[in-house]
Amino acid sequence: MQVQDLLPRFSQQSVMVLGDLVVEKYVWGTARGLANDAPVPVLRVEGEEYQLGGAANVARHLAALGAQVRLCGLVGYDDAAHALRRSVRQSGIDTSGIFPAQGRQTASKVRVLSHQHGQQLLQLDYEPPRSTTDLERGSLRTYIEATLESTDCLILCDYEKETYGSLEFVQELARLAAAQKVLTVADAHPAGVSLLRDTHLTLVSDAAARDLHATLYEHSGVSRGELARDLLEFLHCGAIVLIDAAEGMLGVRQEGEAASIPCSLGAPFSVLGLREPLLGTLTLCLLAGGDLGLALRVAGRAGAKLVSKPGPASLRPEELLDDS
């Protein structure tokens, strides 16, 4: 099977993305030197825009590639929540699974960037101050139970904003999805790697994988392949994909299939948030019938193309075709 065989099937896939919803505000401008009263840069603001972050950014990339997407998570009763809902609707994503919670602050970031230097000068983070309650998790569970029957894939995104709260809740979601024969995919960040278990596919950075490995096993200095296989066994997942800015992606399946895709994404890997489009591309390729090796090659192509685009860009399906 080739990538051109997969692309027409993207629009037939229904994906639910559950996780930490983040809205990001980008402030662009021109640096004008240092302030008179403090050694800090002064930026003349020339533009502002809102973008989706966290699980919402995963949903945005899936929608851009043609999938039918539902987004599920918690927000507050605040301006950031309004901005997030507006951006989600504009991206063509179903917002019926976004629940406002009393006393909860919507996770948001403000990124201040300089035009002439092409770099980020400052970042402000607004974090939810508490974990989710049983009642809030109950709302998420009820929505998921009602919509799983018409869903092909459930993506669990943990950005350490306390959406999941407990291992039991995640395991319950995995069981619900398995009962409906729904593919489950996890995007696991450092503190949540051991939480998101029993999935069909888990995406994790090399750094987070090595940190977890060091807490589980006495032996250290393992190869990247050994690292992936050890965590594959511990997380009880069908496949694991390690991602690293310098080394690219390494995917290993329980059945023994392994694929390594070098994609030198360099420093922009973390700045531009490339793991979200990589995750979306991997998921849709697998749903459309591709194997792990092909999915990794297409995702690597997506990452390489996004690096060359300014700002928080996304891709259309036809851009995933080989240029050669």
HEC string of the chain equals CCHHHHHHHHHHCEEEEEECEEEEEEEEEEEEEECCCCCCEEEEEEEEEEEEEEHHHHHHHHHHCCCEEEEEEEECCCHHHHHHHHHHHHCCCEEEEEEECCCCCCEEEEEEEECCCCEEEEEEEECCCCCCCHHHHHHHHHHHHHHHHHCCEEEEEECCCCCCCCHHHHHHHHHHHHHCCCEEEEEECHHHCCCCCCCCEEEEEHHHHHHHHHHHCCCCCCCHHHHHHHHHHHHCCCEEEEEECCCEEEEEECCCCEEEECCCCCCHHHHCCCHHHHHHHHHHHHHCCCCHHHHHHHHHHHHHHHHCCCCCCCCCHHHHCCCC
Query: How many whole angstroms separate alpha carbon 84 and alpha carbon 55?
Result: 11
- Domain total in the chain: 1
Taking alpha carbons only, the member of 84, 57, 82 closest to residue 278 is: 57
Residue-level pLDDT at 152 = 96
Residue-level pLDDT at 192 = 59
**Is pLDDT of 56 > 90?**
yes
Give a yes or no: residue 29 inside a domain. Answer: no
9 or 205: which leads in pLDDT: 9
Residue-level pLDDT at 199 = 85
Residue-level pLDDT at 17 = 95
What is the residue whose two structure tokens read 């948001």?
Answer: 108
Give a yes or no: residue 286 inside a domain. Answer: yes
Query: How many whole angstroms separate alpha carbon 28 and alpha carbon 238?
Result: 42
Q: What is the mean pLDDT of residues 96-101?
A: 94
Give a yes or no: residue 116 inside a domain. Answer: no
Q: What is the mean pLDDT of residues 4-16?
A: 93
- Alpha-carbon Rg for the chain, nearest whole angstrom, is 20
Residue-level pLDDT at 263 = 53
Residue-level pLDDT at 175 = 86
Give me the amino acid identity at 252. V
Residue-level pLDDT at 171 = 79
Residue-level pLDDT at 297 = 87
Residue-level pLDDT at 258 = 60
Helix axis angle, 275-287 to 55-64, nearest 10°: 50
**Is pLDDT of 184 > 50?**
yes
Q: Tell me the average pLDDT of the chain.
A: 84
Give a yes or no: residue 111 inside a domain. Answer: no
pLDDT tens-digit series, residues 124-168:
998 877 678 889 889 999 999 999 999 999 999 876 655 666 667
pLDDT tens-digit series, residues 263-314:
544 443 343 467 788 899 999 999 999 988 889 888 888 887 877 666 667 7
Asked which of 66-80, 81-95, 176-190, 285-299 is least confident by mean pLDDT, the reply is: 176-190
pLDDT tens-digit series, residues 173-182:
888 898 899 9
Give a yes or no: residue 159 inside a domain. Answer: yes
Asked whether 188 and 195 are in contact (CB, 8 A), the reply is yes
Give a yes or no: residue 194 inside a domain. Answer: yes
- Domain interval for residue 207: 3-22+53-106+129-320
Residues sharing a CB contact under 8 Å with residue 104, sequence separation 6 or more, in sequence order: 74, 75, 76, 128, 130, 136
Query: How many whole angstroms separate alpha carbon 84 and alpha carbon 227?
Result: 37
CATH of residue 246: 3.40.1190.20
Whole-number Cα distances in Å, 152 to 17, 178, 286:
11, 11, 11
Give a yes or no: residue 304 inside a domain. Answer: yes
Taking alpha carbons only, the member of 223, 218, 213 closest to residue 190 is: 213
Give a yes or no: residue 69 inside a domain. Answer: yes
What is the residue whose two structure tokens read 């063509």?
Answer: 92
Residue-level pLDDT at 162 = 58
